[in-house]
């Protein structure tokens, strides 16, 4: 199978997980407990050994194929959305490498549950938040930008009178709004909550 097709199918697999993962984060607006409750429900699916193996393989394929595609296209990309596509993809590859490594270290080395507290530990502790806030924000924005760029290249017809170009900008704007909601939830949901000792930096 060609690199582009592998990248496409691994991307679809990861997208399904990311949608539920971001939805989980939005629930932190209510409380840390609600975030963990929803997470535990979703984990019944994605922490199943079969599903988790597929997801891990998909992430590895996405990183390797994405870097190959970036090296091929970075000098020939033309226009805003083509450039957005390859550069957002590069950031996502960078994010996946670091994020997956952190999750594995948390689970198998530090022996902690990589839950809400694991995620917000760096967001709420100075100077670590100087890295983690842009790191997470750029990851969400890169995801929506990547989707918007793909949509722009594939979509040919207006929807509800909206041109493909306008549709793509709506996707990007939706990503900005969701980023704001998630950060509000993660930071506000943490307010007044005592950080368990094992997550303190």
**Parts of the chain with a pLDDT under 70:** 1, 189-193, 201
pLDDT, position 191 = 65
What the block records as the tokens of 148 is 């918007």
Q: Decide if 28 contacts 116 (C-beta within 8 A).
A: yes
- The predicted pLDDT at position 186 comes to 81
pTM above 0.85, yes or no: yes
Q: Report the C-alpha gap between 24 and 114 in whole angstroms.
A: 14
Identify the pLDDT of residue 53. 96
Evaluated on CA atoms 14, 46, 30, 115, the torsion sign reads negative
- Residues near 32 by beta carbon (within 8 Å), at least 6 away in sequence: 116, 117, 120, 189, 190, 193
Domain boundaries, the chain: 3-195
Burial of 195 (0-12, 13-18, 19+ CB in 10 A): middle
Question: What was the pLDDT predicted at 50?
Answer: 96
135 vs 157: CA distance, rounded Å: 35
pLDDT of 129-172, one tens digit each? 899 999 999 999 999 999 999 999 888 787 877 888 999 999 99
What is the pLDDT at residue 189?
Answer: 64
Could you write out the DSSP letters of every residue in 33-77? HHHHHHHHHHHHHHTSHHHHHHHHHHHHHHHHHHHHHHHHHTTT-
Closest CA to 6 of 78, 66, 71: 66
């Amino acid at each position: 199978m060609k690199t582009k097709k592998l990248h496409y199918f691994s991307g679809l697999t990861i997208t399904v997980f990311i949608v539920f993962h971001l939805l989980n984060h939005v629930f932190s607006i209510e409380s840390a407990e609600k975030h963990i409750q929803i997470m535990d429900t979703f984990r019944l699916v994605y922490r199943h050994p079969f599903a988790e193996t597929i997801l891990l393989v998909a992430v590895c394929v996405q990183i390797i194929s994405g870097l190959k595609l970036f090296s091929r296209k970075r000098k020939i990309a033309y226009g805003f959305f083509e450039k957005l596509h390859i550069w957002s993809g590069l950031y996502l590859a960078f994010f996946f490498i670091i994020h997956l490594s952190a999750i594995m270290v948390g689970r198998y080395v530090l022996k902690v549950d990589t839950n809400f507290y694991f995620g917000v530990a760096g967001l709420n502790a100075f100077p670590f938040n100087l890295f983690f806030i842009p790191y997470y924000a750029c990851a969400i924005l890169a995801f929506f930008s990547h989707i918007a760029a793909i949509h722009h290249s594939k979509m040919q017809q207006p929807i509800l009178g909206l041109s493909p170009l306008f549709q793509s900008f709506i996707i990007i704007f939706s990503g900005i709004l969701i980023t704001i909601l998630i950060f509000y939830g993660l930071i506000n949901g943490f307010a007044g909550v005592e950080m368990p000792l094992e997550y303190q930096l």
